[in-house]
Amino acid sequence: MNNVQVHDKEFEILLENDSINKRIRLIGIQLNVDYENRCPVFIGVLNGSFLFMADLIKEIDIACEIGFIRVASYHGTESVGEIKEAFGLPTDLKDRDVIIVEDIVDTGQTLKYILAKVQQQEPASVTVCSLLFKPAALKEPIAELNYVGFEIPNDFVVGYGLDYNGLGRNLKDIYRAV
């Protein structure tokens, strides 16, 4: 595998697309079992989760609905801790089972913000499904984080929906900065 260049940074392979797809299949199977005879609402967090969400939904064979929320808390390679909501949640989540789909959970600040917004609508249940999780970066535990594709080191990553200043989302593998 060759390294890739995105903007001024060089990245090396961390997770190959084949491994990502196998893990997503397993998460999909688990969600199908856990939500059998229910109709969850999947809420993808844009922009990063769009590829993960699309591939995950293809593995879901139970009745479900799909929505998106867009938030931003990153600038360059650092989480700036300031959250700007660009467009919001579905407004009909009362008594629904909600599955928030994230590309990555690192500090957890963005996710805490989203969870608070979802809880205001009094859903029946809320769970989080994230492709990547950086335990070393997490500021405080997130009880709702029940489905994780891969735990990774606290490295800056790009590819498979994750970007570096807008670029790299289209890479089919996930790379880490070298």
Cβ count within 10 A of residue 92:
11
Of 55, 97, 103, 106, catalytic:
106
Question: What does the alpha-carbon distance between residue 102 and residue 10 come to, in Å, rounded to a whole number?
Answer: 24
Contacts of 155 (CB under 8 A, 6+ apart): 14, 176, 177
For residue 23, the surrounding DSSP H or E stretch is: helix 17-34
Note if 106 is an active site residue: yes
- CB of 31 within 8 A of CB of 147? yes
Q: Which residues have a catalytic role annotated?
A: 106
